[in-house]
Amino acid sequence: MKNIDSAGHVTGRSLYLDDIPEQQGTLYAVPYDAPTAHAHIKKLDVSKATASPGVVRILTYEDVPGENQIGGIIPDEPLFAGHEIHFWGMPVALIIATSEDIARQARKLITIELEELPVITDPREARAKNELIIPPRTFKLGDTKAAWSQCVHVFHGRVDNNGQEHLYIETQGAYAYPTEHDSLRISSSTQGPTAVQRTIARVLGIPMHRVEVDVTRLGGGFGGKEDQASAWAALVALAAFLLKKPVKLSMHRMDDMRMTGKRHPYSSDYRIGFDKDLRILAYEATFHQNAGAAADLSPAVMERTLFHATNAYHIPNVEVTAYCCRTHLPPNTAFRGFGGPQGMFVIESAIAHAADELGVSARELQRRNLMQEGSEFSYGQIADHVHAEACWNLTDQKFDLDKLQAEVDAFNAQHETHKKGMAIMPICFGISFTNTPMNHARALVHVYQDGSVGVSTGGVEMGQGLNAKMVQVAAAVFSIDPSHVKIESTNTTRVANTSPSAASATADLNGKALENGCNAILTRLKEKASRMLKSSPDAITIVDERVLNNGRPTDLDWTKLIHAAHWDRVNLSESGHYATPDIHFDKTKEKGHPFAYHVYGTAAVMVTVDCIRGTYEIDAVKLVHDFGKRMNDAVDIGQIEGGLVQGLGWMTLEEIVYNDKGKLLSNALSTYKVPDIHSVPKEITIEALPTDGHPLAIRRSKAVGEPPLMYGIGVYFAIQNAIKAFRPDARMVFDAPYTPEKVLMSLYA
């Protein structure tokens, strides 16, 4: 089944936040944000701006009736800067005017007097100054201290990775309108409707039941709208609440890029030790996470870095420590992979470094150390249903890695100015929110008396194909044609207390809740049918909209049964609930079983570097992915291709630049480059690992949103191998992204 919104998308009829027909009298909000990264505010003067014709009001922290606080995990993030500015782009005031243009012009009239304070942009500097958002955390397995003496080869080094701008093509936005009983309805471009609702209730000092949040779809999220949609929704809610008027904010791209956080940059150190058979005996890493000015989701992101620090490798002795470092950048946040990619980049760098020093291929080191069934992760979970080696072997079998390498070598022997490089990227990614209490969901199912079905879940459609999968689930349980099922908007009054659409788990959690809801209705329908057919409920099945009794056709079909059930006062609605079983994690011991299951895969990446100019092309990515028992090929292939390209963008072109004052220089699409149609791999070949899937995955079809992003990491090492082919003594640098600038410097400087 295709993405069910496809026809709406290609005709331009799908509605996004800024497309919602406006109510009469709608006002427009534009934030005024801090023009420096760290300062005391001595004086804020909005008088000239307030006096501009068309400006209705300018709000500051003094206008907040509840708490001036939006921090989710830790209450350390004011909605408006009060007396102190913590990052460049921090909201200081909100201009509300009769048009967006008037508000933008008025913004230029606001003046601010500041007492500048020292700015930290580097996480290592923050750690040295003890600017930590939470205490450091360490995951330990075995005893690395004892293991080093048994290692024959030990290598250590430093790895840096830059952040990544989400660049959802639809910017952040929200539209709030007052409703009766001093309540509000908010349309928000958010992955977390409940987070928006909770934040607004807190800021306004009202109970959550007076705040209704509705989400139709997002024009991309990628984690950037998990926590960070809340501020913009809270701002317009505040304005609508105080002014009793509809208020809308649809962020200008440069405002969005300047004011919102991104994927976390990390600066890390590693030490890796091997025995004589090149098995990894010990691994230590220290991660300095650049969290930005407030916690946001950083502690959770940092935790996932630790969970994925050993990627798909079995290592008996592990000690990994992470520091959540407070700097004066915009608070960094969730981004597809959620800290996992940063952890994996470090161990892959360590392996590449070791391979270079040992004169063996990284591929050989990777292969020898892949996880096995029963391997223990550093966090205590015993790996089951392990497919690390199976994916690797199938990759080799399908694509012949020796032959691919031989082709690369032959090309390099024949060409002076262009060199090819190849690298392999295995992945292992855990599925579940690592915060166990978040792993539950609800779905509301209505079967209408004509047999059509309406479904609401807590999941948000943002292009990942969630709604297509939800249609499939409902249609499969009821055994009806998918055309009978409609997916409603995500709304906090229909499905409450939702976890955000994140962690790749949305389809699993909401799909299982939906399955439960549909099954409860189905049970009642079978009882009704058995009464009508004078049979027992166990003997009734519904197949392709026909009601069968003991497997034999009857006169009853879906429509007739629904009609009869309705008149017999059978409840045709249900709220299904699902909580992932068997998962737990004890943070005091840093041990447990946090993941429902893991997703595996292996990618082979080939690139060509132009050694005159330092530019490169990605020739091919050939991969084997563990989809489980795939329920939707179209959606899942799209997730692999899109995730891969986003990951390789992070590793190659996408370069966030802040100056030492904390000002974002890569502040527009002209200075921040994401992959375009010409920069993606010429070939992407995707093979599915044949398995039975996992029982905790929706219809045994595994989560697919985040894992493929990490295949992109292989591109970094393929480029590095090509550089080595041109210049064997090139220094191994682990500092992503590998921009053409860094490539040229590696080739010659």
Partner 1 sequence: MTRFILNDVLIETPAHEGTVLLDVIRYHQHLPGTKVGCREGDCGACTVLVGEMEEGRLVYRSMTSCLLALANIRGKHVVTVEGLNMGHLSPVQQALVDENGTQCGFCTPGFVVSLSGCCLSREMVTPERAIRAVDGNICRCTGYKSIERAATSIAQQLATKNTGDPVTWSVEHGFLPAYFKTIPDRLKAIRKQPGLEHDGSVGTLLGGGTDLYVQKHDSMHHSAIRPLGRSNELKGIRIASEQCVIGGGCVANDLLASEELHARLPQLEEYLLLISSTPIRNMGTVAGNLVNASPIGDLTVLFLALDSTIRLAKAPDRPEHGRNLKLRDLYKGYKLLDKAPDEIVTTISFNLPDKQTRIHFEKVSKRTHLDIASVNSAIRLEISRDATGSDMIREAHVSAGGVAPVPKYLTNTSAFLVGRSVDLETVRAAYQVMAEEVTPISDARGTAEYKRLLLRQLFFAHFMHLFPERFTLKQLVA
Kindly identify the residues of this chain, within the stretch 163-182, that bind partner 1 according to CB under 8 A. Answer: 166-171
For residue 681, count CB atoms less than 10 angstroms from its CB and return exposed for 0-12, middle for 13-18, buried for 19 or more.
buried
3 is a contact residue toward partner 1 (CB under 8 A):
yes
- Least distance between partner 1 and beta carbon 565 (Å): 36
Terminal Cα-to-Cα distance of the chain (whole angstroms): 52
CB-nearer residue toward partner 1: 70 or 744: 744
- Reading the block at residue 186, the tokens are 């908010």
Q: Which of residues 433-462 bind partner 1 (CB under 8 A)?
A: 462
CA–CA gap between residue 547 and residue 179 (Å, rounded): 45
H/E segment holding residue 567? helix 558-567
706: annotated active-site residue: yes
Binding mask 6-45 for partner 1 (x = CB under 8 A): xxxxxxxxxxx-xx-x------------------------
680 is a contact residue toward partner 1 (CB under 8 A):
yes
663 is a contact residue toward partner 1 (CB under 8 A):
no
Are 714 and 652 contacting, i.e. CB atoms less than 8 angstroms apart?
no
Beta pairing partners, 425: 603
136 is a contact residue toward partner 1 (CB under 8 A):
no
CB-nearer residue toward partner 1: 128 or 634: 634
Residue ranges in 359-482 assigned as alpha helix (H): 362-368, 388-399, 401-414, 466-478
Q: Which of residues 630-659 bind partner 1 (CB under 8 A)?
A: 634-635, 637-638, 641-646, 653, 655, 657
Binding mask 405-424 for partner 1 (x = CB under 8 A): -----------xx-------
Stretch that binds partner 1, among 366-374, 392-400, 426-434, 663-671 (CB under 8 A): 663-671
| Near partner 1 by CB under 8 A: residue from 676, 692, 728, 729 | 676
- Reading the block at residue 440, the tokens are 């539950």
| Near partner 1 by CB under 8 A: residue from 253, 403, 563, 587 | 253
| Near partner 1 by CB under 8 A: residue from 132, 358, 570, 674 | 674
| Near partner 1 by CB under 8 A: residue from 670, 692, 728, 729 | 670
- Reading the block at residue 258, the tokens are 């300047």
Closest CA to 167 of 662, 735, 646, 704: 646
501 is a contact residue toward partner 1 (CB under 8 A):
no
731 is a contact residue toward partner 1 (CB under 8 A):
no
- Label the pairing between strands 573-579 and 615-625: unpaired
CA–CA gap between residue 452 and residue 441 (Å, rounded): 23
- Least distance between partner 1 and beta carbon 599 (Å): 18
**What beta strand segments (E) does 198-312 contain?**
211-215, 247-250, 266-274, 280-292
Going from the C-alpha of 496 to that of each of 23, 241, 577, the distances in angstroms are 26, 22, 11
678 is a contact residue toward partner 1 (CB under 8 A):
yes
- Least distance between partner 1 and beta carbon 522 (Å): 31
DSSP 21: P
CB-nearer residue toward partner 1: 356 or 654: 654
Dihedral, 484, 485, 491, 495 alpha carbons, nearest 10: 120
| Near partner 1 by CB under 8 A: residue from 45, 671, 690, 731 | 671
- Least distance between partner 1 and beta carbon 612 (Å): 5
CB-nearer residue toward partner 1: 330 or 463: 463
Going from the C-alpha of 19 to that of each of 3, 216, 221, 239, 635, the distances in angstroms are 20, 11, 17, 20, 25
CB-nearer residue toward partner 1: 292 or 647: 647
If binding means CB under 8 A, how many residues of this protein chain bind partner 1? 81
| 3-state DSSP assignment of residue 601 | strand
Query: Could you check whether the bond before residue 737 is cis, i.e. omega within 30 degrees of 0?
Result: yes
Catalytic residue among 180, 641, 706, 741: 706
- Least distance between partner 1 and beta carbon 466 (Å): 11
Looking up tokens 């007097």 gives: 113
| 3-state DSSP assignment of residue 55 | strand
Looking up tokens 């992915």 gives: 625
CB-nearer residue toward partner 1: 8 or 374: 8
CB-nearer residue toward partner 1: 543 or 612: 612
- Least distance between partner 1 and beta carbon 614 (Å): 7
Please name the amino acid found at residue 386.
V
143 is a contact residue toward partner 1 (CB under 8 A):
no
478 is a contact residue toward partner 1 (CB under 8 A):
no
CA–CA gap between residue 444 and residue 269 (Å, rounded): 48
740 is a contact residue toward partner 1 (CB under 8 A):
yes
250 is a contact residue toward partner 1 (CB under 8 A):
yes
CA–CA gap between residue 548 and residue 643 (Å, rounded): 43
CB-nearer residue toward partner 1: 467 or 580: 467
User: Any idea which residues carry the catalytic annotation?
Assistant: 706
